[in-house]
């Protein structure tokens, strides 16, 4: 085992914990380490307890680790909350204002140093300096990172933060801090640091998304904020709608009029969008909806993570209609999935839903550069492609259920779409014949849609037990699998990104008669139930977590061991 350290910084909301996290992440990443920074915060602006967990390793890490090597406590509560997870030999560094005695923590006054450097708000930068000092990061390198981090805020802010950093850094040179946590900074960043949110927004612009409409809701807001910041560089407008119903209907309107469009929300907002999902379905208007999951029901835990909306999004809306559902594991897959979601939604003229979650959205991952996105194909026709534009029928019945799609006011062909069921020309009809025709037409798309689904990804397919998961839990599951294999257990991992229509043939082939358990962040093991319903293959159990925090590999390992699943 090489280097793998977890640093947790805890304090109150408003103390700038995130800034410390970003500084540390940038410094470690800048020195060539793989970094994963996971934000844990409450739904409030001030007070309470929030923390950031930074995992720094010399190999890719995709899940947080429970064991804390260095805990930096800006207040007493942080020490109490996180002490149980302190690793053997772990170190606690605290602001002396926390009043912890020497047996509990090494303390000095962050606050005093901050004031000396120019103001008490700099305490977070003092803490970052102390962390980097303890990690043995070269001072010049750190100064460079501090400068980059605050550059945009002007010289004075940079100068103060450099002073605060230097004070914290120097404090850790004292004798009592000996036995620092690690050395060996090679200073060659290999990949880039990216928030999950950003990868979703980047995927959207790479797919030529031109309209984004949304209503703020954690943990989805970051996606739209990133998208808004990309508007200007790309032909793209982001509009804050009056509610999620409006957001989804705006996306439908924009797509109907001819540009690619998306919205992002969380479960509660998705509830409000379900009727619009149906209107997209019956009018065969492509739309992409990102649901960033958090625990529910209702407001649930607004700033925490979950994977509990799988059932919901597969079935959301009255009656039934074809749709796509994806759940990418990491930023690279999210980028690619957004591009595929836009493409497949437009190719089949159905809604596409992308499930991410708070852990994924708000964490910083170390990612490789994304591949060049494929050429965008628009599946639309114009007058020139028609024999007689006057005879155009938007919902013409075809063998594969997909009707050639023209756009309104782009030629002589009239485009008529209705949320009532309709004739081939889009006008209302309640005849038995038309209804049967339209239902059959919409569902005729399913075989090709299913064929477009990618099979789940498998690690160690020949293992005796497979841990089956979806979405962002992939990282923790893979780590658990490697750990269990290290103990001599024959386990493998299966990850679903493409969830619906379920690629049932591949699944049956893969799982066959092999025992499997699902690992997912919901109560009932929703993927397990889905697999059983679609393939008849029943999981041997499920390892679940519903408390709003992401999985640790360690607890998955424990779950397998406890239940003697191998």
Partner 1 sequence: MVTVEDYRSDFENEWCPGCGNFGILEAMKAALVDLGLEPHQVLIVSGIGQAAKTPHFLKCNAFHGLHGRALPVATGAKLANHALTVLVNAGDGDCYGEGGNHFMAAIRRNLDITLIVHDNRIYGLTKGQASPTSDLGMPTRIQPEGTVSEGFNPLAAALALGAGFVARGFSGDKAQLAMLIAAGVRHKGFALIDVLQPCVSFNHIHTHGWYKQRVFDLAAEGHDAGDWNAAMAHGRQWGDRIPLGIFYQEQKPTFIDRIGMLQKGPLIDQAAVAFEL
The encoded tokens of residue 189 equal 């960043």
Binding mask 5-44 for partner 1 (x = CB under 8 A): ----------------------------------------
Question: Least CB distance from residue 87 to partner 1, whole Å?
Answer: 36
Candidates 57, 74, 254, 553; binder of partner 1 (CB under 8 A) is 254
Answer for the pair 489, 480: CB distance below 8 angstroms, yes or no. no
Task: Kindly state the number of chain residues that form the binding site for partner 1, as judged by CB under 8 A.
Answer: 59
If the CB atoms of residues 213 and 565 are measured against partner 1, the closer one turns out to be 213
Answer for the pair 288, 457: CB distance below 8 angstroms, yes or no. no
Q: Decide if residue 265 touches partner 1 (CB under 8 A).
A: no
The encoded tokens of residue 241 equal 């709608």
Residues of this chain, 351-380, that bind partner 1 according to CB under 8 A: 369-370, 372-373, 376
Question: Least CB distance from residue 374 to partner 1, whole Å?
Answer: 10
With contacts defined by CB under 8 A, name the span among 63-71, 396-404, 412-420, 539-547 that binds partner 1.
Answer: 412-420
- What does residue 234 show for φ and ψ, rounded to 5 degrees? -125, 155
Candidates 245, 452, 504, 508; binder of partner 1 (CB under 8 A) is 245
| CA–CA distance, 435 with 422 (Å, rounded to integer) | 7
With contacts defined by CB under 8 A, name the span among 75-83, 250-258, 351-359, 444-452 that binds partner 1.
Answer: 250-258
Buried b (16+ CB within 10 A) or exposed e, 66-85: eebbbbbbbbbebbebbbeb
With contacts defined by CB under 8 A, name the span among 179-187, 209-217, 518-526, 533-541 that binds partner 1.
Answer: 209-217
Sheet containing 324-326: which strands, arranged edge to edge? 237-240, 209-214, 260-265, 287-293, 351-357, 324-326, 498-500
| CA–CA distance, 276 with 253 (Å, rounded to integer) | 10
Residue 294: C-alpha distances to residues 160, 304, 335, 486, 498 (Å): 38, 6, 21, 33, 20
Residues of this chain, 72-131, that bind partner 1 according to CB under 8 A: none
- R_g of the chain, CA atoms, integer Å: 26
Q: Decide if residue 416 touches partner 1 (CB under 8 A).
A: yes
Euclidean distance between the first and the last CA atom of the chain, given in angstroms as a whole number:
25
357 closest CA partner among 432, 421, 282, 304:
304
Residues of this chain, 273-302, that bind partner 1 according to CB under 8 A: 275-276, 279, 283
Candidates 14, 136, 155, 234; binder of partner 1 (CB under 8 A) is 234
Q: Decide if residue 272 touches partner 1 (CB under 8 A).
A: no
| CA–CA distance, 360 with 221 (Å, rounded to integer) | 13
With contacts defined by CB under 8 A, name the span among 245-253, 307-315, 348-356, 530-538 that binds partner 1.
Answer: 245-253
Candidates 202, 341, 449, 484; binder of partner 1 (CB under 8 A) is 202
User: By CB neighbour count within 10 A (0-12 exposed, 13-18 middle, 19+ buried), where does 228 fall?
Assistant: middle
3-state SS assignment for residue 470: strand
Candidates 128, 206, 290, 543; binder of partner 1 (CB under 8 A) is 206
Q: Decide if residue 243 touches partner 1 (CB under 8 A).
A: yes
Q: Decide if residue 488 touches partner 1 (CB under 8 A).
A: no
Q: Decide if residue 237 touches partner 1 (CB under 8 A).
A: yes
If the CB atoms of residues 110 and 370 are measured against partner 1, the closer one turns out to be 370
Candidates 76, 80, 87, 259; binder of partner 1 (CB under 8 A) is 259
Place of tokens 């990491």: 330
Dihedral of the alpha carbons of 277, 282, 288, 291, in degrees to the nearest 10: 20
Sign of torsion, CA 428 430 431 432?
Answer: positive
Question: Least CB distance from residue 195 to partner 1, whole Å?
Answer: 14
If the CB atoms of residues 279 and 290 are measured against partner 1, the closer one turns out to be 279
Question: Least CB distance from residue 256 to partner 1, whole Å?
Answer: 5
The encoded tokens of residue 402 equal 């997909």
The encoded tokens of residue 434 equal 């038309």
With contacts defined by CB under 8 A, name the span among 143-151, 198-206, 295-303, 556-564 that binds partner 1.
Answer: 198-206
With contacts defined by CB under 8 A, name the span among 157-165, 424-432, 482-490, 532-540 that binds partner 1.
Answer: 424-432
Contact residues for partner 1, defined by CB under 8 A? 202, 205-206, 208, 210-211, 213, 231-237, 239, 241-243, 245-259, 261, 275-276, 279, 283, 369-370, 372-373, 376, 407-409, 411-420, 426-428
């Amino acid at each position: 085992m090489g280097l793998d350290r977890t640093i947790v910084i805890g304090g109150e909301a408003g103390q700038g914990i995130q800034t410390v996290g970003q500084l540390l992440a940038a410094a470690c990443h800048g020195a060539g380490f793989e970094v994963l920074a996971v934000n844990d915060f409450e739904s409030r602006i001030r007070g309470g307890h929030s923390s950031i967990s930074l995992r720094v390793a010399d190999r890719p890490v995709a899940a947080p680790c429970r064991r804390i090597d260095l805990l930096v406590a800006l207040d007493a509560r942080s020490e109490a909350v996180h002490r149980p997870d302190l690793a053997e030999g772990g170190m606690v560094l605290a602001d002396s204002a926390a009043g912890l005695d020497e047996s509990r923590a090494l303390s000095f006054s962050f606050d005093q140093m901050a004031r000396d450097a120019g103001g008490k708000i700099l305490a977070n930068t003092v803490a970052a300096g102390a962390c980097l000092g303890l990690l043995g990061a070269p001072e010049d390198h750190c100064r460079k990172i501090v400068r980059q981090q605050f550059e945009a805020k002007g010289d004075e802010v940079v100068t103060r933060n450099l002073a605060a950093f230097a004070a914290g850094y120097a404090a850790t040179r004292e004798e009592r801090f000996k036995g620092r946590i690690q050395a060996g900074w090679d200073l060659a960043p290999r990949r880039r640091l990216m928030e999950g949110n950003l990868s979703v927004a980047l995927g959207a612009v790479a797919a030529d998304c031109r309209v984004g409409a949304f209503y703020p809701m954690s943990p989805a807001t970051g996606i739209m904020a990133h998208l808004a910041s990309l508007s200007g560089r790309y032909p793209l407008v982001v509009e804050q709608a009056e509610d999620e119903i409006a957001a989804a209907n705006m996306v439908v309107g924009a797509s109907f009029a001819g540009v690619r469009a998306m919205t992002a929300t969380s479960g509660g907002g998705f509830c409000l969008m379900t009727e619009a999902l149906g209107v997209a379905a019956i009018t065969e208007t492509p739309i992409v909806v990102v649901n960033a999951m958090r625990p529910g029901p209702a407001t649930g835990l607004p700033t925490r993570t979950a994977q509990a909306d799988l059932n919901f999004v597969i079935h959301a809306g009255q009656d039934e209609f074809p749709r796509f559902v994806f759940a990418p594991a990491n930023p690279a897959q999210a980028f690619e999935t957004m591009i595929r979601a836009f493409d497949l939604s437009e190719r089949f003229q159905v809604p596409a839903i992308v499930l991410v979650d708070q852990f994924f959205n708000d964490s910083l991952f170390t990612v490789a550069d994304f591949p060049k996105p494929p050429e965008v194909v628009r599946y639309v026709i114009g007058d020139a492609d028609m024999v007689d534009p006057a005879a155009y029928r938007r919902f013409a019945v075809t063998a594969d259920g997909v009707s050639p799609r023209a756009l309104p006011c782009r030629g002589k062909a009239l485009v008529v779409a209705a949320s009532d069921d309709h004739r081939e020309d889009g006008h209302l009809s309640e005849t038995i014949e038309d209804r049967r025709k339209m239902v059959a037409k919409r569902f005729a798309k399913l075989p090709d849609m299913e064929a477009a689904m990618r099979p789940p990804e498998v690690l160690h397919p020949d293992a005796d037990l497979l841990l089956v998961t979806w979405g962002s839990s992939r990282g923790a599951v893979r780590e658990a699998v490697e750990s269990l294999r290290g103990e001599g257990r024959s386990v493998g991992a299966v990850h679903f990104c493409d969830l619906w229509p379920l690629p049932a043939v591949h699944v049956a082939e893969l799982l066959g008669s092999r025992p499997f358990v699902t690992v997912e962040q919901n109560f009932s093991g929703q993927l397990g139930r889905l697999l059983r319903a679609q393939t008849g293959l029943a999981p041997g159990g499920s390892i679940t977590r519903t408390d709003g925090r992401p999985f640790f590999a360690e607890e998955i390992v424990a779950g397998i061991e406890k239940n003697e699943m191998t």
